[in-house]
Structure 1
Amino acid sequence: METQLKDKVALITGGTQGIGRAIAVAVAKSGAAGIALVGRNPDRGADAAREISSLGVPAHFIPAELGGAEAPSDVLKAAFARFERIDLLVNAAADTNRGTVAAASPDFFDRLYAVNVRTPLFLMQGVINHLAKRRAPGSIVNILSMNAHGGTPDLAIYASTKAALALLTKNAAFSHRFDRIRINGINVGWADTPAERQMQAVTLGLGEDWLARANAAQPSGSLLLPEDVARLALFLLSDASAPMTGSLIDQEQGFVIGVRE
């Protein structure tokens, strides 16, 4: 199975840590011509760019706060200024903060939708229009969540953002299938990422041993790893998955059979 991305330029949000960074490394190892990494932390951004560059692939870090109204246009301008073109887009960045229907504030709601829906949408729009103007094929992968199927009470707002992006993924794929732009999504299950470690151990106060307990409860003996998601994302980005488009793949170790506490 060929999962090569030879001569392709990729734009990856959330590319400085966790799942986004693992995808960036996989893309670099698959022959990409360049990678634009988007993140908030300059130190992590510089470190990620160095890692990609050490693999022989030009890397450019774009610092951005993705909740800002101008973030999509600013990110696209920076990526085009460095590489002149974009062939692949991965929307991996997300705000995963908890919020229930009963307690969520308007500001909290607006921020999650800005980061998790509005920015991915307008990045897709920019890349789709760019590819269509070039009459070039391309591939977009949106990192979604198993919570898009419903979610637990404390993830109500987050879950709804991922459900919204899932619908936009399918709609955009249908709308641009004859432009040869393939758009797919991954509903990621519970994964061991730096953000999740901070959330579980510190924010939720479950202590440093939360991961051992969580791993022990999984069929495989481990939560999903960023590299697991990266392998699937690479498949979807590459011609190996063609002509697949509009697919939402559940990458999880269990089954969605109803609401569980």
Structure 2
Amino acid sequence: MEVRLDGRAVVITGAASGIGAAIAAEAARAGGRLCLTDIDDAGLSGVAAELSALGAEIATVVADLSDAAAPARVAADARARFGRIDGLVNAAGLTTRAGLADAMPETWDHLFAVNGRAPFFLMQEAVRDMRARGAAGSIVNILSVNAHVGLPDLAVYSGSKGALSTLTKNAANAHMADLIRVNGINLGWVATEAEHHMQSVVLGKGPDWLAEAAATRPAGRLVEAGEAGRLAVWLLSDASRPMTGMALDLEYWVAGSPP
């Protein structure tokens, strides 16, 4: 079956760069009508311009998902532009380093607000719209392989993604009879712009971090953003029916295997 989203209105968060932008590009090529949101106004405008030039119908909403009011505003803007919400991808996320020994309450609150609360209430908005129209729909949450255990300095991040993983399954179970499918991607290590800055600058590993990291992977490279984009669009599309409540690992190792 060809993977298509023709005419479907899809909200994608974190769409200004990285994973979100890659998903938006794949969704646009699949015929989706996209409401893209991010805190980065300039980056969001650039992605929207590129996809509009390809003939895609694009709306944008600049929003800070740490604001509890943001999900309702994003959903309202999507409905105002497209009349409905057929799909949702929660791709926005923070990867702030914080371990059990050094995490501060404000870090916990910020990570859980963006990585947990915002996706939850965006799912709520999407499900309400779908149920009000008696329409089927699909939601994809970008999770993390760190939800299995997580690196020591990613304790809070891992917890937030673990919470979203449980919420993914809970929503899938609650709305199966509504024909609303909810799935997640346990995403591994991806060489995005944000990860380059984190590794080379914040963590001080320098410009050669990627080659060194790739050498530690069984396949000799990290996951690419486009690979995540293609999987997300497949999960959004009818090609993945009736799959729901799944959290699919996307990484170049098998969870539980020896390091």
Q: Under a length normalisation based on structure 2, what TM-score does the superposition of the two structures give? A: 0.97
Counterparts of 2:95 and 2:231 in 1: how far apart (Å)? Answer: 21
1:187-206 equivalences in 2 (<5 Å):
187-206=186-205
Matched, 1:179 2:196: no
Counterparts of 2:208 and 2:195 in 1: how far apart (Å)? Answer: 13
Matched, 1:25 2:25: yes
Regions of 4+ moved over 4 Å: none
Instruction: Give the letter for the 2:51 counterpart.
Output: I
Counterparts of 1:101 and 1:46 in 2: how far apart (Å)? Answer: 38
**Counterpart for residue 145 of structure 1:** 144
Give the superposition deviation at 1:258: 7.3
Measured against aligned partners, the alpha-carbon deviations of 1:55-80 in whole angstroms (never above 9, x if no partner) come to 21111111011101111111112222
Counterparts of 2:77 and 2:231 in 1: how far apart (Å)? Answer: 27
5+ residue gaps, structure 2: none
Q: Under a length normalisation based on structure 1, what TM-score does the superposition of the two structures give? A: 0.97
Instruction: Give the letter for the 2:164 counterpart.
Output: L
**Counterpart for residue 166 of structure 2:** 167
Give the superposition deviation at 1:259: 9.1
Identity over aligned pairs, percent: 48
1:46-125 equivalences in 2 (<5 Å):
46-125=45-124
Cα-Cα RMSD: 1.2
Give the superposition deviation at 1:81: 1.8
Counterparts of 2:207 and 2:135 in 1: how far apart (Å)? Answer: 48
Counterparts of 1:125 and 1:259 in 2: how far apart (Å)? Answer: 39
Matched, 1:11 2:22: no
Instruction: Give the letter for the 1:208 counterpart.
Output: P
Aligned pairs, number: 259
Give the superposition deviation at 1:51: 1.2
Report the 3-state secondary structure (helix = DSSP H, G, I; strand = E; otherwise coil) of the residue aligned with 2:177. Answer: helix
Give the superposition deviation at 1:220: 2.2
Determine if contact 1:100/1:155 at 8 Å carries over to the other structure.
yes
Report the 3-state secondary structure (helix = DSSP H, G, I; strand = E; otherwise coil) of the residue aligned with 2:197. Answer: helix
Report the 3-state secondary structure (helix = DSSP H, G, I; strand = E; otherwise coil) of the residue aligned with 1:154. Answer: coil
Determine if contact 1:95/1:112 at 8 Å carries over to the other structure.
yes
Measured against aligned partners, the alpha-carbon deviations of 1:5-28 in whole angstroms (never above 9, x if no partner) come to 111011000111111111101011
Instruction: Give the letter for the 1:150 counterpart.
Output: V
Report the 3-state secondary structure (helix = DSSP H, G, I; strand = E; otherwise coil) of the residue aligned with 1:61. Answer: strand
